[in-house]
Chain A
């Protein structure tokens, strides 16, 4: 067209040219409208003037921000600012688009109802003939779900790493504890060998001397060495057996199907105390249970946790005073927290972390048990989104804190 001189065009030509242009314009307009319709279907679109005032929003913008169009037009984007980005974040954004460059990033916004959403955002600045921004077109995609998935994936990875570390610690402890009785089996096995050697040589000497039982020479191996060796070998084998049984019990916990339902803790504790009445009476122990909030958990497993705590209170009661146990509860941040407080021997601060360790026992000489109760309690509670911890003063008593998700209604 550049080589044609308009002055030389006839009227008919001109009319034809105008019609062509009109057709082209209509086609361009239709194309633009189609693209915009498709864009509106897919993206959250907003246009702002150079000062940042919103001049246009599409339906998706209104839907995600939960604001009506009239509430948005004329406002700036601070209306949806979540406060979750540092000032530099937006400074960088404005510097970029102010210089006529495209900005791309992920923004956390706040909707009218206070909920937060994430948008993957591209802001295109359009400049006027002086190179100054004329308007900004922001196109966004809702990535709230992706962000939530990323975050839960991150949490899950951290949780797995934590579990893995726990598992490693358990394998370490267990392998150590299993080798310990094995050392006795091996060591005292050698002692049996030596005893056999002594008996054999005593028998040979006696035979050479013409018979007769060499009583004096047989006494030490038969009366001291062999019985001692057998005692330690048998104890070692029994110990290994009980460690393996405990380990199996622990591993089985992860496979038990849980039935989570509202639990009436006062009823549960009533049953536990009735079952333990004999031991409690024998120890002249008193257990006081205050009204407890209800929680959500598995009846059998939770009952075992509390039975174990009361059993521990009995085992570690103070020899100089009768056992007093007070059980009370409260609800805090959606968790029902139960306190089992005793006036027993208590646990020194440096030993407190160890009480939940597998097979760890603070007083193996004076108390029975396999060192599994609290380890199992911890695992059982974790599976029910609960927790257990201890507060204690040596010589005064211990308080075990058990938390489980609270149930809305009270028991």
Chain B
């Protein structure tokens, strides 16, 4: 099966952060489609409530502190779902709190990056994530 280049999902309640991330992704040489979600609930709805093309793959850039459902909870719920467990998730956050980093890694995030994010950090993360691209396949969601 031919996989599409992953769509990058930026999940961040701060519009400025989302713009900066998008600009940096583009500056790092990525031409993937980029979608923006303003809180954790929105991205959960996207994964759990909308049908997806079987060939579509995703890379999730997830902020931690967001209104409604925070990034940790989104990570936990995505990783708890057998169909979504293999999704590549980069946690983006403003803190480098060791306990939080550990918690994210325990829950199965692929990479943890502290904001502000620059090209170099992104390029490095994308290189690391590149190894996981085949795992980013999301099976189609059967409508409930």
Contact = CB atoms under 8 A, between A and B. Distances in A.
A179 B95 contact: yes
B116 A186 contact: yes
Interface string B10-23: 00011011011001
A364 B94 contact: no
Residues of B contacting A: mostly: loop
Interface of B: 13-14, 16-17, 19-20, 23, 38, 64-65, 67-69, 73, 93-95, 97, 115-116
Contacts of A176: 64-65, 93-95
Nearest to B69: A350
14 contacts: A172-B97, A175-B95, A176-B65, A179-B94, A180-B17, A182-B94, A183-B94, A183-B115, A184-B17, A187-B16, A228-B19, A232-B16, A232-B19, A236-B16
B78 to A, nearest CB: 15
A379 interface: no
A360 B67 contact: yes
A364 B13 contact: yes
A200 to B, nearest CB: 19
B121 to A, nearest CB: 12
Contact of A361 (B19, B23, B67, B115): B67
Given A179-B115, A183-B115, A363-B67, A188 B95 contact: no
Interface of A: 172-173, 175-177, 179-180, 182-184, 186-188, 191, 228, 232, 235-236, 348, 350-351, 360-365
A-B complex: 9 closest residue pairs judged by Cβ atoms: A184-B16, A179-B94, A187-B20, A232-B16, A183-B116, A183-B115, A186-B116, A176-B95, A176-B65
Given A172-B95, A179-B94, A184-B14, A362 B67 contact: yes
Given A177-B65, A360-B67, 12 more contacts: A172-B95, A176-B64, A176-B93, A183-B16, A183-B17, A183-B94, A232-B16, A235-B16, A348-B68, A361-B67, A362-B68, A364-B13
A175 B93 CA distance: 12
Nearest to B12: A180
Nearest to B97: A172
A63 B38 CA distance: 71
A228 B65 CA distance: 24
Contacts of A361: 67
